[in-house]
A and B are shown apart, each in its own frame.
Chain A
Amino acid sequence: MGFYRLFTKSIVFSTRSRRRFFTFVIVFSILSGATVLLLGTFDNFSREGMLDHRGVVIRINSGSNLDLASAESTLAVEDGRTISGASAVIYYKFVDFGTNIRIFSLNKNYPWAFVAINPTNLVSGRFPSNPTEVLVSSDSILPMGDSEGGVFAFIKPVVGMTFKLGISNASEFDIKVSGVVKIPNTEVTGGRHWIIMPEEAFERLRGPQNLALSDDQIFVHSITFVAQGDILSAFSGQTYSFVDQLADNYDNLGSPYGFPIFKEKTDKDGERNFTILSLFFGLFGTFMVSTLYSYLITRFRRREVAVLKAMGYSKWNVRTVVLTEILVVAVTGFIIGLLAIQLSIYLGRVGSWFYWIIMSPTAFFSFLAVVISCVPGFIIITTRTLAVRPIELFRQK
């Protein structure tokens, strides 16, 4: 009971020295944010790096297109679903709309996995966030039709433009351009203009009210196997092992996929070592600041510590008071730093997909790292202070 009360009272009292409290909360939030980012690098939440570390993409349209029904029935996909290390199998489907336009479905949870329209290729606007929005390729020129089916104009779509996709005997399909992506080269597009729409819109388009297409009329551009991995496996290199294992398995597939493409990251060890080094400095910074804070607490409140000891507080009682103060500052700083990172991810999102870092193992392990890095400084400072008898503290007037 005594310990719990001392702990809870110390939490309340730790915020009373407002200027010192807020100063250190800000410092801790910056350090915590850096720690989260560095640990996040291991978890590869950044879309640019994620594919290299966490996914294997097999592109299957290098030769003749493979329809969805055939793709699903192949042994390779079954293997992909069951192989150790694969946590999801993502199809990127497409359908040709007339002779000039190819329409893709976009899985909003894995936008990074579709290499050709990776979010880093976004030129303007943003990824679709609702079923009426689409991306278009930057070189697109859309034909405008007349009521009799003839083409009377060609226009270059821009962000915010609305138009209709329509065929005879089907309901019209209202869409709005939310973003423009740069398609790497015309070989990839096959000379067609690309429209990329969310999966639910694509399914509606291919449904009975519109195109009424069966599985063998839908084609698959690529299949992505997402490798499992979390921050711990990143530390140990296990995530890389999963990716390598998947790559090896599919390297020999050859036909009917044409050629499996796995772009191996050659400098992954170097990157990992650099990140570990950065993380070490980040945690060292947290350690230094927490040590400084412990020092300031015990220095500014040296006489208070002496009074507490004179009143009968044991060493552990005093340690509880000081440790609670440090933890309140560290945890508050961590929460603010984490929320700032989450906010920046949200504001920098592409489309509806963004990473919930506050719910991730990265956040959990960052929290542990920040708390643990506070402990050595706390022990060093409080041990030095508590070793002094209260009478000696009173003499230092």
Chain B
Amino acid sequence: MSETLIEAKEITKEYIRGKREVVMALNDIDLKIPKGKLIMVTGPSGSGKSTLLNVLSGLDKPSAGKVLYEDENIAEWDEERLSMFRQGNVGFIFQNWELVRILTALENIESPLYPLKLKGKEIRTRAISLLKQVGLWDKADNYPDELSGGEQQRIGIARALVGKPRIIFADEPTGNLDVDNAASILRLLKSFTKRDTSILVVTHNEELNKYADQTYRLSNGRFV
């Protein structure tokens, strides 16, 4: 049994829609994310996948329940402490890639490391190494607008990995890609679990389950 990295305990998340309507986005969710595993959470739109990802990563706070990281409940932390937590432990892959348009591919990958006390040479070495791993070394000086969707997503993955995070949260990482590109991205993500990096992928595409070590299905805020 793998050691647990992050554990969600009885997580509930409520939204107020309009003036009075209360929406239960997550309802009493328990989840353990082991080290070095790829966890897939699937479900239709509005099932609460992205909400779960946001809560587990500390981007959002649960209405009730705990998110334990090494026995500390990160749901109680303030924004600054959460930033520090994310800086050293978490990488994000977004559906729309969210690359910074004024930075080149190489600079986008480097950007999470700029505030850290690392030597410039080490930052550059790490970024180049990842750029090669995602097969885009020849695109180092290209801006995001000059890259295809699949290439942008690869840069996004390299950016998520450059800080050597312990866990990567991926929100619909293949949502805007064709079947071949999607499979390629999942294989790439899967390869990084060998380095003990945990990966949580939320997606509506259940065909991707074959790449996962564990799968969960969400419906109306509950695992089914």
| Chain A contact residues, CB within 8 Å of chain B | 1-3, 5-6, 9, 13, 16-17, 303-304, 307-315, 317, 389-391, 394
Contacts and interface: CB of A to CB of B under 8 A. Distances in A.
Interface in B105-121: 107, 111-112, 114-120
A3 B117 CA distance: 9
Interface stretch (B22-30, B67-75, B77-85): B77-85
Contact of A303 (B90, B92, B98): B98
Nearest to B98: A307
User: Max chain A CB contacts within 10 Å: which of B101, B102, B116, B118?
Assistant: B102
A19 to B, nearest CB: 12
A3 B115 contact: yes
B59 interface: yes
Nearest to A13: B102
Contacts of A394: 59
A211 to B, nearest CB: 71
B25 to A, nearest CB: 12
Given A311-B111, A312-B90, A391-B60, A16 B102 contact: yes
Contacts of A312: 83-88, 90, 112, 115, 163
Nearest to B87: A312
A310 B114 contact: no
A328 B86 CA distance: 29
A9 B163 CA distance: 18
Interface string B87-99: 1101010100010
A2 B84 CA distance: 14
A250 to B, nearest CB: 64
Contact of B54 (A9, A303, A311, A391): A391
Contact of A317 (B54, B101, B107, B115): B115
B179 interface: no
B100 interface: yes
User: Max chain B CB contacts within 10 Å: which of A16, A312, A315, A317?
Assistant: A312
Contacts of B92: 307, 310-311
A317 B80 CA distance: 11
Interface in B26-84: 54, 57, 59-60, 79-80, 83-84
Contacts of A304: 98, 100-101
B140 interface: no
Nearest to B171: A394
A13 B103 contact: yes
A7 to B, nearest CB: 10
Nearest to B111: A311
Contacts of B116: 2
A315 B81 CA distance: 11
Given A307-B98, A312-B90, A6 B115 contact: yes
Nearest to B159: A311
Contacts of A1: 117-119
A71 B171 CA distance: 90
A316 B189 CA distance: 32
Given A389-B79, A391-B59, A314 B84 contact: yes
Interface in B165-199: none
A389 B58 CA distance: 10
Contact of A310 (B86, B88, B100, B117): B86
B163 A6 contact: no
A229 to B, nearest CB: 47
B83 A314 contact: yes
Given A5-B120, A314-B87, 11 more contacts: A1-B119, A2-B116, A6-B115, A16-B102, A16-B103, A303-B98, A312-B87, A313-B115, A314-B83, A317-B115, A389-B60
A265 B159 CA distance: 67
Contacts of A310: 57, 59, 86, 92
Contacts of A6: 114-115
Nearest to A309: B83
A314 B80 contact: yes
28 contacts: A2-B114, A2-B118, A3-B115, A5-B120, A6-B114, A9-B107, A16-B102, A16-B103, A17-B102, A307-B92, A307-B94, A308-B111, A310-B57, A310-B86, A310-B92, A311-B86, A311-B87, A311-B111, A311-B159, A312-B84, A312-B90, A312-B115, A312-B163, A314-B83, A315-B79, A389-B60, A391-B54, A391-B59
